[in-house]
Amino acid sequence: MRTFQRVAVLGFGTMGGGIAQVVAASGRDVVVLETGQERIDLGVAAVRDFLDGGIRRGKATEADRDAVLARITGTTDVADLAGVDLVVEAVTERREVKAELLGRVATVVGEDAVLTTNTSALSVTDLAAALPRPERMAGLHFFNPAPLMAVVEVVRALQTDADVITDLVAFVEDIGKSPVEVKDRPGFLVNRLLMPYLNDVVQEYDDELASAEDIDVAIQLGLGYKLGPLALLDLIGIDVHRHATESAYAATLDPQFAPPPLLAQMVAAGYLGAKSGRGFRVGTEEQGEAR
């Protein structure tokens, strides 16, 4: 059984940095590929800030932080990925970008290395089809923020070997997460259930059924959720949710996945949620509602 002791993460953004942190905390060496040194520095700083927060809350020590950071190496050269036994791709949700990068990486890593994608919306089967050995490709879908969210979807493409899935499930358990095996379907499991729910909430908000705050309070208190749906959209990124629903709708033509028009308007206006400082809940107290 593969134990994946040296792991490559493609991308040092929010998801890539979180995944790198989780893997490094398990005692494994991680090399993170980025397009420039500035992005590497920003990624390392974000991991450090997250770990410093844990120190302030008494959840970790400075030694813990330093050990994690020491196991993470950044690079801009694909050649530095030679020798890794697991790749986790976490770059932008654009098929052409992911496919091109995975293709380049596949020529550098060993033949037995497993390649995975953290995509939440694209077809793993489609990405695998472009690789020289599609049977070693699978999905490894972490949730944001990766260090805190317990579940990881292990996604089987049509081509994926059974032993690859077995090894990935064991790996996810070993890094302290809970694996869920799913088939390669639009949205996989969690987002396949989540997307229609969030779309309905956005439409009801746009129809002025209730204010953003009242919708969130009602869901939190009425259903016992930790976070209201509109606050969740701000956290996920309104553009990210719109892209995911568009991809699911294009793949299925199922109207439950069709994004409400308000999402496109908010993205056009630059109201992307927490990352832009304006969304359904973020930035609305002083500036009025998002619409």
Give CA torsion, residues 57, 62, 64, 69, to 10 deg.
Answer: 110
What predicted TM-score, i.e. pTM, was given to this entire model? Answer: 0.90
Out of 118, 123, 153, 241, pick the active-site residue. Answer: 153
Q: Is 86 exposed, middle or buried (0-12, 13-18, 19+ CB in 10 A)?
A: buried
Q: Which amino acid is at 217?
A: V
Asked if 4 and 167 touch (Cβ cutoff 8 Å), the reply is yes
Out of 118, 141, 199, 276, pick the active-site residue. Answer: 141
Residues 126 and 23: their CA atoms lie apart, in Å, by 26
Domains for the chain: give ranges and CATH numbers. 6-183 (3.40.50.720), 190-282 (1.10.1040.10)
- CA 195, chain centre distance (Å): 15
For 236-280, how does the pLDDT look when each residue is reduced to its tens digit (9 = 90+)? 899 999 999 999 999 999 999 999 999 999 999 999 999 999 999
Q: Is 120 a catalytic residue?
A: yes
For 173-193, how does the pLDDT look when each residue is reduced to its tens digit (9 = 90+)? 999 999 999 999 999 999 999
Collect all residues with Cβ–Cβ distance below 8 Å to 222 and sequence separation of at least 6: none
Asked if 217 and 211 touch (Cβ cutoff 8 Å), the reply is no
Residues 21 and 88: their CA atoms lie apart, in Å, by 13
Q: Is 199 a catalytic residue?
A: no
Q: Is 286 a catalytic residue?
A: no
Out of 118, 120, 123, 276, pick the active-site residue. Answer: 120
Residues 288 and 266: their CA atoms lie apart, in Å, by 14
The percent of residues above 90 in pLDDT, for the chain, comes to 91
Out of 34, 89, 118, 191, pick the active-site residue. Answer: 191
Residues 277 and 121: their CA atoms lie apart, in Å, by 24
Asked if 129 and 103 touch (Cβ cutoff 8 Å), the reply is no
Q: Residue 48: enclosing H or E segment and its boundaries?
A: helix 37-56
The 3-state DSSP class for residue 45 equals helix
Tokens of 133: 């050995």
Q: Is 191 a catalytic residue?
A: yes
pLDDT (tens, 9 = 90+) of the chain, 291 residues, equals: 899 999 999 999 999 999 999 999 999 999 999 999 999 999 999 999 999 999 999 999 999 999 999 999 999 999 999 999 999 999 998 999 999 999 999 999 988 999 999 998 899 999 999 999 999 999 999 998 999 999 999 999 999 999 999 999 999 999 999 999 999 999 999 999 999 999 999 999 999 999 999 999 999 999 999 999 999 999 989 999 999 999 999 999 999 999 999 999 999 999 999 999 999 999 875 344 444
Bridge partners of residue 31, in order along the sequence:
8, 73
Length of the chain: 291
The 3-state DSSP class for residue 137 equals strand
